């Protein structure tokens, strides 16, 4: 894709949707198409449980009845949820990023591998993570401006799989999403993007071919 002058957007209001619509079109105007590779991985994805797992008796059965290689936490999972998760899932089989709720210290308290703003290697597959969501608050780990997200996504190491809490840019939604995600997916020719935040479950293919999976509560995906 063509070079993006990120500093151009430094003084943009986050709600100058017309400007970000233009950026969105620029991002997808030139790209190398992606055909998501098969990694022979079975992933357990969990997101936006908001304290519900303690009373979700189907969760134990779901975990016990499904084999998986790695569990990925996509944010907005509180302390009681983590206690429930760790009853059934080994901590060494979990990686995580934060949502836009709950203390940022939680994963450390439970010794869970937090990969916010990092890229790791899992059996030869590169997985990168970014926490938080779009918003006007100042805590950058929980709420992002579009400009700051663009900067962080530009600096994040390349990956095969991107995990985030928020969705990519949605120009007609009250949950606007983060345009830096789109930039990262195209720039790095990412195969898969997993996220939560929308309290909905769906799958989609981005214009460049990256597969998007939105998760609400928990699900298994084979890639």
Burial of 189 (0-12, 13-18, 19+ CB in 10 A): middle
**Does residue 35 carry a pLDDT above 80?**
yes
Average pLDDT over residues 119-148: 84
Residues 164-174: tens digit of each pLDDT: 999 999 865 66
Domain range summary for the chain, segments of one domain joined by +: 35-222
Q: What is the pLDDT of residues 76-108, one digit of tens each?
A: 999 999 999 999 999 999 999 999 998 889 999
Q: What percent of the chain has pLDDT over 70?
A: 91
Fold classification of 35-222 is Purple Acid Phosphatase; chain A, domain 2 (3.60.21)
Evaluate if residue 193 carries a pLDDT over 90. Answer: yes
- DSSP helix, strand, coil percent of the chain (3-state; round to 5): 30, 25, 50
Name the 3-class secondary structure at 17: helix
Q: Where are the alpha helices (DSSP H) in the chain?
A: 17-27, 57-64, 79-88, 106-109, 146-155, 179-187
Per-residue pLDDT of 74-83, as tens digits, reads 999 999 999 9
Which pLDDT score is estimated for 86?
98
pLDDT given for residue 172 in this prediction: 59
pLDDT tops 90 at residue 61 = yes
Q: How far is 68 from 74, CA to CA, in rounded Å?
A: 16
What sign for the dihedral angle of Cα 148, 197, 16, 2?
positive
Residue 43's nearest CA partner among 211, 179, 184 is 211
- What pLDDT is stored for residue 59 in this prediction? 97
Q: Is the pLDDT of residue 113 over 80?
A: yes
- Return d(Cα 208, Cα 79) in angstroms, integer: 37
């Amino acid at each position: 894709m063509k070079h993006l002058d990120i500093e151009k957007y430094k003084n943009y209001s986050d709600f100058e949707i017309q400007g970000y619509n233009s950026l969105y079109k620029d991002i997808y105007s030139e790209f190398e198409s992606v055909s998501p590779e098969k990694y022979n991985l079975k992933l357990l994805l969990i997101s936006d449980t908001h304290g519900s797992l303690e009373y979700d008796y189907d969760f134990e059965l779901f975990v016990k009845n499904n084999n998986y290689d790695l569990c990925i936490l996509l944010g907005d999972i509180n302390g009681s949820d983590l206690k429930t998760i760790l009853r059934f899932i080994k901590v060494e089989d979990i990686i995580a990023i934060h949502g836009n709720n709950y203390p940022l210290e939680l994963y450390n308290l439970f010794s869970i591998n937090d990969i916010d703003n990092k890229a790791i290697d899992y059996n030869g597959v590169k997985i990168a993570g970014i926490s938080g969501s779009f918003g006007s608050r100042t805590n950058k780990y929980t709420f992002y401006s579009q400009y700051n997200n663009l900067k962080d996504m530009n600096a994040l190491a390349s990956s095969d799989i991107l995990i985030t809490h928020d969705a990519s840019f949605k120009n007609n939604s009250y949950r606007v999403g983060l345009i830096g995600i789109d930039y990262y997916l195209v720039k790095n020719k990412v195969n898969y993007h997993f996220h939560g935040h929308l309290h909905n479950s769906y799958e989609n293919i981005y214009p460049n071919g990256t597969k998007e999976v939105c998760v609400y509560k928990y699900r298994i995906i084979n890639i």
